């Protein structure tokens, strides 16, 4: 045991125990490769046409959370009633976060154990979820729609999904590749024709050149996997640019403080 950190969150106490142990280099337990396209209507769509429905943890509790926040705003700040109301709001926030974390852990564990190669889009979540309010000189357009989209993106937990996939795939001896996301949903996987007209609707893909038809998210996942294969074939790899901090879990027996470098693009 290296150290123990005691913390409090949502009215509960937690002890995080960090340990160090020797582990053998992991060997892949699976041979399958998969491409994953993340989205709003479908949390994750696989290149084999399997998809995972979103949890929408925040959306489910949004009205209830807003009700308790209004009650808290009507209390005298720092009074006993205000502190009680604040504790209720914090409890809801904690429940939302815990449900999302549980969903992501179960999803990433299933994917990492059954695939030796996982390809995802190298999406810039911070840029996608920036505010569109603008300023007095240049006000934003469709602010309410963009606000709803930003809330939905953050509710999915794409960044945490990628972080967990990174270290869990490494634990199982696999490889995670993050490929460029441009035109993945506009490229025909059958003939290679690229056009924005190929995507008829948000969910329908119909190639205007060869007539290939499929779900748009499935097409994106197929193209993501194909790009991953091309990256491996050409040997173009780069180090993962963000932290892959591991979760301390007793079941894995791995060190909770060491980071594993995975080559990705």
Q: Which are the catalytic amino acids?
A: 37, 121, 217
The SS3 call for residue 171 is helix
Q: Which residue has the tokens 């994750």?
A: 44
Per DSSP, helices labelled H in 137-190 are: 143-156, 158-171
In whole angstroms, give the CA distance from residue 211 to residue 216: 14
DSSP character for 140?
-
DSSP E strands in 117-261: the ranges are: 117-121, 175-179, 204-206, 213-215, 238-239
In whole angstroms, give the CA distance from residue 226 to residue 47: 10
45-57 per-residue burial string, b: 16 or more CB within 10 A, e: under 16: bbbeeebbebbbb
> Do the beta carbons of residue 221 and residue 45 sit within 8 Å?
yes
State the sign of the Cα–Cα–Cα–Cα dihedral 11, 9, 95, 66: positive
> Do the beta carbons of residue 168 and residue 112 sit within 8 Å?
yes
The SS3 call for residue 39 is coil
DSSP character for 250?
T
Q: How far apart are the first and last CA of the chain?
A: 35
């Amino acid at each position: 045991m290296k150290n123990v950190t005691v913390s409090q969150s949502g009215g509960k106490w937690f002890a995080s125990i960090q340990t160090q142990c020797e582990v053998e280099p992991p060997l892949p337990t699976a041979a399958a490769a998969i491409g994953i396209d993340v989205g709003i209507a479908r949390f994750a769509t696989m290149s084999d046409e399997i998809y995972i429905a979103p949890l929408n943890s925040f959306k489910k509790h949004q009205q209830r959370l807003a009700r308790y926040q209004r009650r808290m705003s009507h209390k005298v700040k720092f009074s006993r009633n205000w502190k009680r109301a604040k504790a209720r709001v914090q409890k809801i926030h904690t429940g939302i976060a815990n449900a999302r974390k549980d969903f992501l852990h179960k999803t990433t564990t299933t994917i990492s154990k059954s695939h030796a190669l996982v390809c995802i889009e190298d999406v810039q979540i911070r840029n996608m979820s920036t505010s569109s309010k603008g300023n007095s000189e240049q006000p934003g357009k469709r602010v309410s729609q963009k606000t709803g989209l930003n809330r939905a993106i953050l509710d999915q937990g794409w960044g945490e999904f990628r972080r967990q996939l990174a270290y869990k795939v490494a634990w199982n001896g696999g490889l995670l590749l993050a490929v460029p996301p441009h035109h993945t949903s506009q490229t025909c996987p059958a003939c290679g024709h690229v056009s924005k007209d190929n995507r008829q609707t948000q969910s329908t893909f119909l190639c205007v050149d060869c007539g290939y038809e499929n779900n748009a998210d499935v097409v994106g996942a197929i193209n993501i996997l194909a790009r991953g294969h091309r990256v491996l074939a050409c040997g173009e790899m780069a180090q993962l640019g963000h932290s892959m901090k591991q979760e301390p879990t007793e079941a894995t027996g791995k060190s909770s403080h060491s980071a594993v470098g995975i080559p990705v693009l």
